[in-house]
A and B are shown apart, each in its own frame.
Chain A
């Protein structure tokens, strides 16, 4: 089954404790992206990647890092999480030159 998976689905952590949210897709998509969703603000793009080793900042990249060492994986790294990063995070992927992004199920992160 074609899908985007994210782990963990739920995470509660404390300020400053480094964490990684994994994202993996099995559709051989070149493009991958991370979004955060907050009430009243919709979906905002954090980072995106056009291919292996090619990443770029989205609209809200501060406090986040990404890497794209393999085509199928695009982890999101929070080196020192803060409470304002409490949010619902989505990973998405698509073919090159396609706007039909397939979204993962989401990761709900709480930073206390």
Chain B
């Protein structure tokens, strides 16, 4: 599968700060997904993006599907301790059932 470049690899932030992470690829995709993995658990879908330029919010989370269809970002506003975990971007190609995940961004929130 194609490689996704997800950055940063890890982040340490103070509670209350905003967070931004992104994924880029050299290929064009039809779908961008953002998952969160809490410590000791399986990933859970946060936001799904299906259209170039799409901006979607889920509570304090906002994600955008880049206009070029080669990138996506996830923002978390006013971080809280339960935001700790690993955030993964993922994509699926047109007509494909195969999901490819980025390497993840590990978020630590300092109370």
Chain A residues engaging chain B, CB cutoff 8 angstroms = 4, 31, 33, 35, 40-45, 48, 50, 56, 58-59, 90, 92, 99-101, 103-106
Contact = CB atoms under 8 A, between A and B. Distances in A.
Interface string B38-59: 0011111100100000000000
A59 B42 contact: no
Contacts of B103: 40-42
Nearest to A96: B97
Contact of A59 (B6, B33, B100): B100
A33 B1 CA distance: 15
Contacts of A92: 42
B1, B97, B98, B101, most chain A CB atoms within 10 A: B97
B1 to A, nearest CB: 5
B62 interface: no
B48 to A, nearest CB: 6
Contact of A45 (B6, B31, B100): B100
Contacts, number: 55
B85 interface: no
B43 A100 contact: no
B97 A100 contact: no
B24 interface: no
B88 A45 contact: no
A59 B1 contact: yes
Contacts of A59: 1, 100
B25 to A, nearest CB: 14
23 contacts: A31-B97, A35-B101, A40-B103, A42-B101, A42-B102, A42-B103, A42-B104, A43-B43, A43-B88, A45-B99, A45-B100, A50-B97, A58-B1, A59-B100, A90-B42, A99-B99, A100-B48, A103-B42, A103-B43, A103-B44, A105-B41, A105-B42, A106-B42
